[in-house]
Structure 1
């Protein structure tokens, strides 16, 4: 089971108490809702201005600013995720990871998609057969350097 940092617990509790969504916080911070959610989980770092705006919007102490601006250790760790939604993405990579790699190499050459110069968008697509989740990953292609 993933351990949620104490600051994350405070952020989520304040967000819930205020009745805010990540989309609401998007207008406060001028950042995408997925990036803000990553900040909540400490998978991203805020500037001092962003941290201050977020904490003020949530009614939390500005004493938390240094923790929100600090560099973080990213990732889930060396575990197979057990949360069903997170596991589905792990499963997608198990099944489609190598095919995606082959198609990317065919189109771009030998390299990777950046997870640093990267955006991730999540949209709800209404469908009479059941609503759909549209996930768009957009990363800069980085060719492997030859030397």
Structure 2
């Protein structure tokens, strides 16, 4: 059986190499670009598109040529593809949805009604919670509730 590996776009590889060479964090890039660190990471991984101004600020912060700005502004094809993710970190989110997806949907529908949480009108923040038993990852997702329409 052939192992399917998620392809990392060439531009993503260039951006990540420059980030590493400059020794900057996504939080540093947040300050330089004026956008949230998670959104900047989504641009770098080609899951979001940047305006000309945002792309210029990002490329300047990474010391890269402005010629990449056009590609960062193109509308990306989003998602991981039609595969179960094999990267352990990403797979855990897939597993979380397998286990808690239906319960989470039921609780949200109890509180809001029949609908979905937008992934378009959406923010995601990552926080580090220090804990003597081991630091914890805290994710804060906030999406607009979109009720299903009747017609």
TM-score class normalised by the smaller sequence: over 0.9
User: 2:126 — aligned with what?
Assistant: 122
**1:30 equivalenced with 2:34 (yes/no):** yes
Q: How many residues align?
A: 147
User: Runs in 1 of length 4+ with deviation above 3 angstroms?
Assistant: none
SS of equivalent to 1:31: coil
User: 1:142 — aligned with what?
Assistant: 146
Structure 1 unaligned blocks of 5 or more: none
- 1:57 to partner: Cα distance: 1.1
* Residues in 1 aligned to 2:131 and 2:11: alpha-carbon distance in whole angstroms: 37
What is the TM-score when the length of structure 2 is the normalising length? 0.96
Task: Please give the residue correspondences for 1:6-17 in structure 2 after superposition, counting only pairs within 5 Å.
Answer: 6-17=10-21
RMSD: 0.5
User: 1:86 — aligned with what?
Assistant: 90
CA deviations 1:115-138 (Å, max 9, x no partner) are: 000000111100001100001110
Structure 2 unaligned blocks of 5 or more: none
* Residues in 2 aligned to 1:19 and 1:101: alpha-carbon distance in whole angstroms: 40
What is the TM-score when the length of structure 1 is the normalising length? 0.99
CA deviations 1:24-76 (Å, max 9, x no partner) are: 00000111111111111000100100001111111111111110011010000
User: 2:62 — aligned with what?
Assistant: 58
* Residues in 1 aligned to 2:137 and 2:62: alpha-carbon distance in whole angstroms: 28
User: 1:131 — aligned with what?
Assistant: 135
Q: 1:109 aligns with which of 113, 118, 128?
A: 113
SS of equivalent to 2:32: helix
